[in-house]
Copies of this chain bind each other. A is one copy, B any other.
């Protein structure tokens, strides 16, 4: 597992074994059962989660009482509610396991300390944050402008794993189409 961490962190920045050991020593491993919450709406998010295995969704309840899924994530992805995490305010979204999920959890206070002892880590998280920003921007600006059918095709093409592992009604929520229409699209 330390190997998975080392490989992941070395994607953008080279860390020595000593540095990886130091980072690793600050990570807490936790396994969440299907439907368990990593974060619940209203809680203050104090951690950043690195998924070792499993599958999660981020969602919030809109003003009509509907669940709105904004993100799926699986192994080797980071998830958090950035606003809650950075500003210490209650989270407006929840993060929930869709499958049994194992995550490495880094506490914000510990991460701040690590930034001081291993400044290269700033670069790693700058790049991770840039990538998150690009993904969110793309989904909102481009993806949700596409026709429903094109969105589904795009999902199938780029994230076939999601289409296989995520329940259909969640895929429909993420794509902002009705489950009925998704079912029709799948039959074609």
Chain A positions within 8 Å of B, measured between CB atoms, are 60, 62-63, 68, 70, 82-83, 86-87, 92-93, 115, 119-120, 122-123, 125-126, 129-134, 136-138, 140-142, 145-147
Q: Which of A86, A93, A126, A131 gathers most chain B CB within 10 Å?
A: A126
CA distance A60 to B145 in the complex (A): 11
Please name all residues of chain B whose beta carbon is closer than 8 Å to the beta carbon of A123 when the two chains form the complex.
Answer: 115, 119, 122
CB distance from A123 to the nearest CB of B (A): 5
CA distance A27 to B46 in the complex (A): 36
Please name all residues of chain B whose beta carbon is closer than 8 Å to the beta carbon of A131 when the two chains form the complex.
Answer: 86
Q: Which of A93, A141, A142 gathers most chain B CB within 10 Å?
A: A141
